[in-house]
Amino acid sequence: MTKKKEEWTPTITNLRKVIVDGVEQWVEFETKGYVIPAGHSYYDIIRGINKEVQRKKMGNRRMISKTVTQTQRFLRLPLEAQALYFHLIQNSDDDGVVEAFPVVRMIGVSEDSLGLLIVKDFIRPLNDEMVYFIVDFHEQNKVRADRKVNSVYADLLREVVPNIELTEPRQRVDRPKKPPEKVGQPRDNQRADMGQQNISQYKSSQDNLSQSRSSQKDEDEHENPIFEKLKSAFGQMSVNGTMTEEVRDLLDIHGKELVIYALEVTILNAGKSIRYTRSILSNWQGLGLKTVEQVKQHEEQRQKLKQSPKQAEPISREEWLKTRTEENPF
C-alpha cells in the first residue's frame, strides 16, 4: 500500500541583517507595521509608485454638483448640451481647462452645443482651438495642493480670466522637496505667441457674447409666464430641456398669446403632457384660428349651437289636421 503524498506548502520568511556583538546575523522579523525610513533606497521608489497611483485615481475622478446641474438654467438646455457638459467636466484638467474638440468627436454631438454652453456662461473659450475653461469647475471640484498638476494652459487661463484663484501645487511638509516643474509651456504643435493672439480675439468678441447673454436673459424673463403655466399644467419636475424645446417650437409657430391660452385650456381639461397642448394648437390652426379672440369667438358660437332649442319633431297628418284652422292654415 503506497503512502499518500502530502501537498507541499511553501513558507515565506522575511529576514533582515542585524549586528549582534559585532557579528552580522540574519534574523526573522514580522513585516506588519514595519516602516521604511526616509533616505532608504526603497523609500523614494515606493513613494513614487504610490504617488503615481493616487495621481491617476484623482485624474479619472471629477465631482458634479447638484447646485449646477439641477438649476433651471441648466435643465433648460437641450439634452445634447447637458451630456456634452458632463463629458467636458470628466475630461478637464485640475484647473478646469478642457480641450473640447476630441470630446465633441468622441460623443458625436454638434459644435452648436458648445456655442449654447458659452452663451449660457457654463464655459469660456481660451483660444480658437476649442480650448475652454469650465466656469463652475472649482465650485464642484477641490483638488488637494499636494496632488494637483498645473494645466498646460495655466498662463493663458490667468490672462483670459484675471480674477481666477488657482491652487498652487505644493509638497507635503513630511516629504523631501523636489525641484519645481515647468508649467504653462506651449505644446510642440503650438506657437508660444498663440495665447496672446487668441486672447485679443476673445476680448474683441466679449461684447457680442455679453449682448447674447443679455438678450437670452431678456428672452427667459419674457417667457416666464409660459413656464409658470407649464409648472401648473404638468408639475415642476416635468419641465425639462426637451419640453422647453417643444414649447419654443410652438412659440415660433403660433405666438406667445395663443400658446399661453392653449396651456390654460390644457389645465382646464387636465391634460397630461405637452402633446395635448400641441394637439389643441394644431386643431386651431386647422380651423384657421390665429388669435385668442378668434378662438374665443369660435368657442362662443359652438356653445350657442349646443344650447339652441331643438326643432319640433314632425307630426302625423291626422294630428296636423286637428291643429289646422282658418287663422293658421299651416
Question: In sequence order, which residues have a C-beta less than 8 Å from that of residue 68 and are 6 or more positions away?
Answer: 74, 136, 139, 140
The verdict on 26 and 80 lying in the same domain is no
Segment 251-278 shows an average pLDDT of 84
Same-domain status, 237 and 150:
no
Residue 238 has pLDDT above 90, yes or no: no
Q: Are residues 79 and 201 in the same domain?
A: yes
Residue 178 belongs to a domain? no
Are 200 and 78 within one domain?
Answer: yes
- The boundaries of the domain holding residue 50 are 19-59
> Is the model more confident about 75 or about 49?
75
134 and 119 inside one domain: yes
Is residue 241 very low, low, confident or very high in pLDDT (cuts 50, 70, 90)? low
Shared-domain flag, residues 43 and 92: no
In a domain, 325, yes or no: no
Residue 213 pLDDT grade (very low, low, confident, very high; cuts 50, 70, 90): low
**DSSP annotation of 20:** E
Per DSSP (E only), the strands in 101-246 are: 123-125, 131-134
134 forms bridges with which residues in the sheet? Answer: 123
Residue 83: predicted pLDDT: 95
Question: Could you give the 3-state DSSP secondary structure of residue 116?
Answer: helix
In the prediction, which pLDDT does 6 show? 72
Look at 217 and 8; give whichever has higher pLDDT. Answer: 8
pLDDT at 246 over 50: yes
Among 32-36, 82-86, 95-99, which stretch is predicted with the lowest mean pLDDT? Answer: 32-36
Mean pLDDT of the chain: 76
d(CA 72, CA 240): 8
Q: Does 46 lie in the same domain as 27?
A: yes
For residue 242, pLDDT over 90 is answered with no
Domain count, the chain: 3
Confidence of residue 125 (pLDDT cuts 50, 70, 90): very high
All three cell numbers of 244, joined, read 422647453
- Average pLDDT (284-294) is 87
Position 262 in a domain: yes
What would the grid cell of residue 222 be? 419674457
Q: How far, in Å, CA of 137 to CA of 144, rounded?
A: 14
What is the pTM for the complete model shown? 0.39
Pairing of strands 15-20, 97-99: unpaired
Same domain, 232 and 294: yes
**Torsion-angle region of residue 143: left (phi > 0), alpha (psi -120 to 50) or beta?**
beta
Question: Which has more pLDDT, 43 or 109?
Answer: 109
Whether the per-residue pLDDT at 223 is higher than 50: the answer is no
Distance of CA 39 to the CA centre of its chain: 48
191-201 tens-digit pLDDT: 545 545 555 55
User: What band does 327 get if pLDDT is binned at 50, 70 and 90?
Assistant: low
Is the residue at 12 inside a domain?
no
CB atoms within 10 A of CB 306: 7
If asked whether residues 246 and 151 sit together in one domain, one would say: no
How far apart CA 2 and CA 284 sit, in angstroms, is 99
pLDDT, position 308: 63
| Residue 301: CB atoms within 10 Å | 10
**Inside any domain, residue 243:** yes
Alpha carbon distance 276, 267 (integer Å): 10
- Separation of alpha carbons 21 and 309, rounded Å: 126
For residue 113, is it within any domain?
yes
- Is 8 part of a structural domain of the chain? no
Determine, yes or no, domain membership for 189. no
Q: Looking at the structure, do residues 43 and 116 belong to the same domain, yes or no? A: no
Whether residues 113 and 29 fall in one domain: no
Considering 59, 76, 107, which residue would you say is the last residue of a domain? 59
Same domain, 141 and 83: yes
